[in-house]
Structure 1
């Protein structure tokens, strides 16, 4: 039996469970269910939760909104300190056979996107994009 996979090769089942965990984790953080002064003072964005194929491990990619590197480190430390409570809350919200061990990582996609945007706006690239290519003459054209 062939398993359904996305373009990256991950199964649709793990993608669905990861998305359900992302919604549950975002709801948990938005409601303030985890009482911690670091988490109470910041808004945390959960961009993705990747789940292992056996659904026993999950990695949540988070980013404090409008935060600095110090904020990011403090939020990661607070979330990792409360990982057991978060795991328990996610197990209740997302009904799977096993409660996944959750690990938290900083989401680097925002920094990567900003770096690519800066490259595309650089004068060298802009010069190349603004230059119009020479017109090719097609032998079938009559002009």
Structure 2
């Protein structure tokens, strides 16, 4: 009899979360140390906020943001250009069966947090929260 997945459709599994966090830490370390020798990456501070991994662990999407938030689109292009080297560096440090394909997106979490703070500062929202 086939075993049913407990987590079907409810979000990422524990394994996906664990692998995503390992990739996030490793990718952050690789970028911080400057292991990729691209002049466009040298000296740039890059935050890797989260890494989401596909259920088969073969695709990892890293949500990144440059320090100060400037040059976001350029950063994604630079990282995509260095994707194979970053993938090699990450896979060298992790013991996964397959090295996941890395994809890069801008991390918009901070923008959403700012919007949430702005909403909570509104008088009518504060009044509703106090009730």
Normalised to the residue count of structure 1, the TM-score between the two structures is 0.80
The answer to whether the aligner puts 1:75 opposite 2:43 as a matched pair is no
Shift of residue 106, structure 1, vs aligned partner: 0.5
Structure 1 or 2, whichever has the larger Rg, is 1
d(CA) in 2 for partners of 1:101, 1:75: 18
Q: In the alignment, what sits opposite 1:122?
A: 122
d(CA) in 1 for partners of 2:15, 2:6: 8
Query: Residue deviations 1:25-69, cap 9 Å, x none?
Result: 00001101112233223210001111111111110011112122x
Shift of residue 96, structure 1, vs aligned partner: 1.0
- Cα RMSD of the aligned pairs, angstroms, is 2.1
Shift of residue 9, structure 1, vs aligned partner: 2.9
The answer to whether the aligner puts 1:26 opposite 2:28 as a matched pair is yes
Alignment equivalent of 2:18, drawn from 16, 19, 32? 16
Q: In the alignment, what sits opposite 2:85?
A: 85
Aligned length: 129
d(CA) in 2 for partners of 1:3, 1:9: 12
Structure 2 gap ranges (5+):
none
